[in-house]
Chain A
Amino acid sequence: MNNLRRVVRDPLVIAALIAIALVVAGGIVSPGFASPDQIVNMLRVASFLGLIAIGQTLVVLSGGEGIDLSVGTVATLGAILASRTMAGDNAMLIPGVLLALVVAAAIGVTNGLGIVFLKIPPFVMTLGMLGVVSGLILVVTGGVADGRAAPALVHLVNGRLFFGIPGILIVWAALAVLVTLLLRRTTFGRQLYATGAGREAARLSGVPVNRVLITTYTLSSVFAALGGIAMVGYSQQVFLNLANDLTLPSIAAVIIGGTLVAGGVGGYLGSAIGAIVLTVLTSLLTTLSMPEWARIVVQGAVLIALLAVYGRQRRLRS
């Protein structure tokens, strides 16, 4: 009985139940919503958010009010750089992806350096970086987004590689396993949890806190760019604001997944389920033909409701 209660209270289980409930509700409201095809398609869309949420999870875990508000624009920049380099040519797929990841890594390192050495609070640094990166996007594109995804990338995202499962879902699952292993089984993972749980204690115990933080913010930007590249494989064409709106959902996904806003507690599996919940919710709202403004409002309201359940801070009177 006690065990059962613990399982039911686990944020992971709650999030998964919400996801299933949303799919069932959608199936009742509009037949076909819960068809296997439609579910695979929703998972495909969830994968972009899921990839971006990997980095956001690491950053939130690192504590110290860790948050990366630049992931959306970095994803867009990654998509733009990759698709301009590929220009619809398979031979340039790898150079395009590499270029995007290297530039993203440079942005992430800058975020990390500013946060660690200049002591700029993470949200200020990454919010400032959001401005810089959107400026960079205008400089790179001159205000006109061109470039096309390579056919191989489109096939990976839109095609069905194995038993009807899109390749991108396999990539996402593999990365989810790798990130979970990184967090649970490597020195870096342990150092990250230690840093998030108590920075000073971690420092005194010999954890290279600065290096851990810089690595974390770098990984965040890299995974954001990866999410952007996957997204351009889906849309095939790139837009100047392709992934900009994914910042808020990426944070929401992390919180739904039960990762503590204060840092040090949580994991990636929850964020992945969170990404699925949010995507199902969005497509449910679209199916109900809600106007755009209502979807934006619901997104914000859902995050507040979730925070009210998971993320309340301590009272002053203890």
Chain B
Amino acid sequence: MTATDKAREIEERTAFFDRVKGIRVASWATGLLLAAAAVVAAVLQPNLLTPYGVSSTFATFLPLVLVAVAQSFVVIGGGLDLSAGAIVALSSVVAVQAMRGEEGTALIGFLAAVGTGFACGAVNGLIVSRLRLQPLIATFATASVFSGLALFVLPTPGGTVPAAMTETFRQAIAGVPVSLLLVVAVAIGWLALRKLRVFRYIRASGGNPAAAYASLVPVAGARFASYAICGAVCGLAAVAVLGNSGSGDPFIGGDLALNSIAAVVIGGIALRGGIGSPIGAIAGAITLSLASTILFSVGLPTSWRALATGLVVILALSLSALGAPRRQR
């Protein structure tokens, strides 16, 4: 081996290492966690890999995946939405009441859910961007408003959903379950839309609002947009919930806000804003859902499951803190 060869090899190696270093710790951790969770879940529950298993698993994952994607827009934009779960609950009961269980109304229900979600998100966006209230407490308060309204729209769980909506989730196109296709579609949808100016504005406003403002980014508009988009995607999640359960429930959103934040964090999205991608949120949501599948399949007594799930969420949150660069202030 000549000296030049050796030099080139070293050069290539450093280039390789540079490239590896360029991938952030968080995305490494996200990928590893997802792979580990998938392997453990598949070993513990072999029928997870059957077509039926994949179909039903992804059908139950889909709402959280969608809410995590919704949450990721707000978090990347430097905000936070604690009302995401309440928006899902309100959108789903509005859709149930709009459809009244009649056939052929699935489209109306879909539009009602997304419209309601968008309206809720717009309210959040106006409060945070125009009134300039602290997002955390403001969305905590709107969560109370939305879940109160959900109770008004549908006081007790019930109502039926047209078969068209529930059956779509159980079908398969060319052997691939629709629920899995929908998750993939969300990811592709993001990849197709990510170059839009609004997403660049959202990211810039989240990374450094003052600098973004100085660079003529409409920060308030971007904030508003991030909440409105979040609300609309939560409306989609409400459709997924309805397709899954087949009836309305005003209390459905309980854990969704916390779990979506955990999913976003596992997905390598920095809570201080500006860093990360909705794809990470999808991976985080699937990891989190797989973790609870694992907890179910190891035969934990029912009363311990909530505790175990809570501990997994806290563990995931603290793991991410190790990977993320420290807040500099």
A interface residues (Cβ-Cβ under 8 A, vs B): 65, 67, 69, 114, 118-121, 123-125, 127-136, 138-139, 141-143, 199-200, 248, 251-252, 255, 261, 291-301, 303-304, 307-308, 311-317
Q: Chain A residue with minimal CB distance to B149?
A: A297
Quick one: given A295-B148, A296-B144, A299-B144, are A304 and B127 in contact (CB under 8 Å)?
yes
Partner of B262, one of A128, A298, A312: A128
B177-216 contact mask (Cβ, 8 Å, vs A): 1 or 0: 0000000000000000000000000000000011001000
Find out whether the CB atom of B309 lies under 8 angstroms from the CB atom of A131. yes
Question: Which stretch from B16-24, B61-69, B94-102, B321-329 is at the chain A interface?
Answer: B321-329
Contacts of A139 in B (CB 8 A): 303-304, 307
With A128-B262, A251-B140 in contact, is A296–B131 under 8 Å at CB?
A: no
- Residues of B close to A311: CB separation below 8 A: 133-134, 137
Asked if B138 CB lies within 8 Å of chain A CBs, one says yes
> Do B127 and A118 have beta carbons less than 8 Å apart?
no
Distance from A115 Cβ to chain B, minimum over Cβ atoms (Å) = 10
Known: A252-B141, A297-B145, A312-B132. 16 other contacts (CB 8 A): A119-B321, A119-B327, A120-B318, A128-B258, A129-B314, A135-B306, A138-B306, A138-B307, A142-B303, A294-B148, A300-B142, A300-B143, A304-B133, A304-B142, A307-B141, A308-B131
Q: In the complex, what distance in Å separates the CA atom of A11 from the CA atom of B307?
A: 40
Asked if B317 is an interface residue, CB under 8 A from chain A, the answer is yes
Query: When the two chains form their complex, are residues B261 and A316 in contact, meaning their CB atoms are under 8 A apart?
Result: no
Complex Cα distance, B327 from A199, in Å, reads 13
Q: CA of A251 to CA of B137 in the docked complex: distance in angstroms?
A: 8
What residue of chain B has the Cβ atom nearest to residue A132's Cβ?
B310
> In the complex, which residue of chain B has the Cβ closest to the Cβ of A121?
B271
Residue pair B136, A128 in contact (C-beta under 8 Å): no
> B144, B149, B152, B261: which has the most chain A beta carbons within 10 Å?
B144
Q: Which of B265, B307, B308, B318 is in CB contact (< 8 Å) with A114? A: B318
A-chain residues with CB within 8 Å of residue B151 when the two chains form the complex? 292-293, 296
Q: Could you list 13 examples of A-B contacts with CB < 8 Å?
A: A114-B318, A123-B82, A127-B258, A128-B314, A131-B306, A139-B304, A199-B329, A251-B137, A296-B148, A298-B148, A301-B141, A303-B144, A312-B132
Task: Provide the residues of chain B in CB contact with A199, threshold 8 Å.
Answer: 329
Q: Is the interface of B mostly helix, strand, loop or mixed?
A: helix
* CB of B244 within 8 Å of the partner chain: no
Most-contacted residue by chain A among B80, B137, B147, B148 (CB, 10 A): B137
Whole-angstrom distance between the Cβ of A211 and the nearest chain B Cβ: 19
Asked if B148 and A120 sit within 8 Å, CB to CB, the answer is no
Query: Quick one: given A124-B271, A129-B314, are A297 and B265 in contact (CB under 8 Å)?
Result: no
B313 at the interface (CB under 8 A from A): yes
- A271 nearest CB across to chain B (Å): 14
**Pick from B138, B213, B255, B262: contact of A316, CB under 8 Å:** B213
Q: Is B70 an interface residue (CB 8 A)?
A: no
How far, in Å, is B17 (CB) from chain A's closest CB? 27
Partner of B133, one of A67, A251, A295, A313: A313
Count of residues in B whose CB is under 8 Å from the partner chain: 55
What is the CA–CA distance of A297 and B141 in the complex, to the nearest angstrom? 9
Q: Which residues of A contact B219 (CB under 8 A)?
A: 316
- Residue B311 at the A interface, CB < 8 A? yes
Q: How far is the CB of B192 from chain A (nearest CB, A)?
A: 31
Kindly state the separation between the CA atoms of A124 and B324 in the bound complex, as whole angstroms.
Answer: 15
B97 to chain A, nearest CB (A): 14
Q: How far is the CB of A219 from chain B (nearest CB, A)?
A: 21
Q: Which residues of B lie under 8 Å from residue A131 when comparing CB positions?
A: 255, 258, 306, 309-310, 313-314
Q: How far is the CB of A316 from chain B (nearest CB, A)?
A: 4
Check if B318 sits within 8 Å of A300, measured CB to CB.
Answer: no
Fill in one digit per residue for B204-236: 1 if any A CB lies within 8 Å of its CB, else 0. 000001100100000100000000000000000
Considering only CB atoms, which chain B residue lies closest to A127 in the complex?
B258
Chain B residues with CB below 8 A from A308, complex form: 131, 133
| A200 / chain B contacts, CB cutoff of 8 Å | 329
The answer to whether B308 and A135 touch across the interface, beta carbons within 8 angstroms, is yes
Report the minimal beta-carbon distance from B75 to chain A, rounded to whole angstroms: 11
CA distance A100 to B150 in the complex (A): 35
State which of A124, A128, A248 has its C-beta within 8 Å of the C-beta of B310.
A128
In the complex the two chains form, is A307's CB within 8 Å of B144's CB?
no
> Which residue of the partner chain A has the closest CB to B306?
A135
**In the complex, what residues of A have CB within 8 A of residue B314's CB?**
114, 125, 128-129, 131-132
Which B residues from 281 to 321 make CB contacts under 8 A with A? Answer: 302-311, 313-314, 317-318, 321
A296 to B313, CA, bound (A): 28
Of chain B, the residue at the smallest CB distance from A313 is B132
Contacts of B307 in A (CB 8 A): 132, 135-136, 138-139
A residues less than 8 Å from B262 (CB atoms): 128
Shortest Cβ distance from A233 into chain B, in angstroms? 27
The interface centre, meaning the residue of A121, A131, A199, A298 with most chain B CB atoms within 10 A of its CB, is A131
Interchain nearest-CB distance for B269 vs A (Å): 12
Residue of A nearest to B318 (CB): A118
Contact A293-B213, Cβ < 8 Å, known A128-B258, A132-B310: no
Q: What's the minimum C-beta distance from A252 to chain B, rounded to whole angstroms?
A: 8
